[in-house]
Amino acid sequence: MQMSAIPFGTTDWAAVEATTHKGDAGVATWRTRQFGDIRVRMVDYSPGYVSDHWCDKGHILLCLDGELTTNLKDGRAFTLTPGMSYQVADGADAHRSHTTRGARLFIVD
């Protein structure tokens, strides 16, 4: 990832407009900043959220609160709790997430 032409700045995530994305169950609320080709998000998953698709996009994801389980298309599953992260490259491992009790994530992709 090449990070260029991004001047120093701060983000008050509470002031960033939220968008809502429905899953197969529950909702994901995204607060998104775009810096050239780099998307940075604070995402809140509602309790009971289940993703509605397999994702092939690469991400660096940090769990800030709650618990998130991510299933890979090959059958593996990983559960993140606060302070844990995962990283995956574009096209490397299709993945899909769900949460029983909700989760707050910081995502860079």
pLDDT (tens digit per residue) in 2-58: 788 899 999 999 999 999 999 999 999 999 999 999 999 999 999 999 999 999 999
Return the residue matching tokens 């008050």. Answer: 12
Q: Is residue 60 part of a domain?
A: yes
State the total domains in the chain: 1
103 neighbors 33 (Cβ within 8 angstroms): no
Q: So what's the pLDDT on residue 3?
A: 82
Q: Is residue 82 part of a domain?
A: yes
What's the CATH code of the domain at 60? 2.60.120.10
Q: Is residue 11 part of a domain?
A: no
Q: Is residue 76 part of a domain?
A: yes
Q: What is the pLDDT of residues 46-60, one digit of tens each?
A: 999 999 999 999 999
pTM greater than 0.95 (yes/no)? no
Q: What is the CA radius of gyration of the chain?
A: 14
Q: Is residue 1 part of a domain?
A: no
Domain of residue 60, residue span: 20-108
Residues 84-87: contacts with CB within 8 Å, 24+ apart? 85/60, 85/61, 86/59, 86/60, 86/61, 87/58, 87/59, 87/60, 87/61
Q: Is residue 80 part of a domain?
A: yes
Q: Is residue 62 part of a domain?
A: yes
Return the residue matching tokens 């096209």. Answer: 91
